[in-house]
Amino acid sequence: MHETEVDERVADAAAEGGAEKRAYVRTVFEQIAPRYDLLNHLLSLNIDRLWRRRALRALGWSAAPNGRYLDLCAGTLDVGAELSRQRGFAGFIVGADFAVPMLQAGKGKAPASVLAPVAADAQQLPLADGSMQGATVAFGIRNVASLDRGLAEVFRVLCSGARFVILEFTTPRSAIVRTLYHVYFHHLLPFVGGVISGHRTAYKYLPRSVAHFPAEPVLARHMSDAGFVDVHWESLSLGIAAIHVGKKP
């Protein structure tokens, strides 16, 4: 079998979940870390910046501006850095990710006294029970090997009343938008991403992982099953992405 075909079969298996997912995701993000920010903003036409700001508004951090916050699957620390720049924010942010090169690529985006990168698996966080006043995850929860274990860990480390905000890609419901979305997501994005990143299958894994991720109502049920209350969600940009919010009682 051709090497490219082998790589694509591995990407397919990882997108579906299972034992291969954790190792594949970690390796891929370690390899594409140097070009990750460039591609994120280029391929999303910078809309991702607006989505992140909206997610931070949903976090409600102003209720505890001096609190400690978790940015899960933090990648290159964009969300944590954006939170650190909010007027009135005086707290501390833990940016957790198991791909260390991603965290290193985000070095310098915020002072170390405000934002600390921590090498950690989303399924086993080195944080005390009830120690965080809020948590976010942007475009990373679908990459966690076990969604339910990841949700359970976030629930564990949050204090009572804290919010958890998920920003994630979704599949548009409109047939017209979905057709255009699939053309872009399954053809143009993998081509451009592969050329710029130098990784042939990383940007093929992305649309496949979205296709295998639970739809918005199903993700909301997973959050409720994990113990979160007042769970709700809203679509963004014609259904290309969605923000889910839940609270620990």
pLDDT in tens, 19-30: 678 888 888 888
Q: How confident is the model at residue 131 (pLDDT cuts 50, 70, 90)?
A: very high
pLDDT of residue 4: 43
Residues in the chain: 249
Domain range for 224 is: 3-247
pLDDT of residue 27: 84
Computed from CA positions of residues 37, 41, 46, 52, in that sequence, does the dihedral angle turn out positive or negative? Answer: negative
* Tokens of residue 47, six digits: 């809309």
**Least confidently predicted of 2-11, 31-40, 211-220:** 2-11
Give me the residues paired with residue 136 across strands: 71, 165
> Is 120 a residue whose pLDDT tops 50?
yes
The answer to whether residues 61 and 114 touch, using CB atoms and an 8 Å cutoff, is no
Average pLDDT, whole number, for the chain?
A: 88
> Is 2 a residue whose pLDDT tops 60?
no
Overall domain count for the chain: 1
Terminal CA-CA length for the chain: 52
- Give the pLDDT confidence of 151-165 residue by residue, as tens digits: 999 999 999 999 999
**CA–CA separation, 46 vs 116, rounded Å?**
25
The answer to whether residues 246 and 224 touch, using CB atoms and an 8 Å cutoff, is yes
* CATH number, residue 28: 3.40.50.150
- Please state the pTM of the whole predicted model: 0.90
- Give the pLDDT confidence of 48-104 residue by residue, as tens digits: 889 999 999 999 999 999 999 999 999 999 999 999 999 999 999 999 999 999 999
> Is 144 a residue whose pLDDT tops 90?
yes
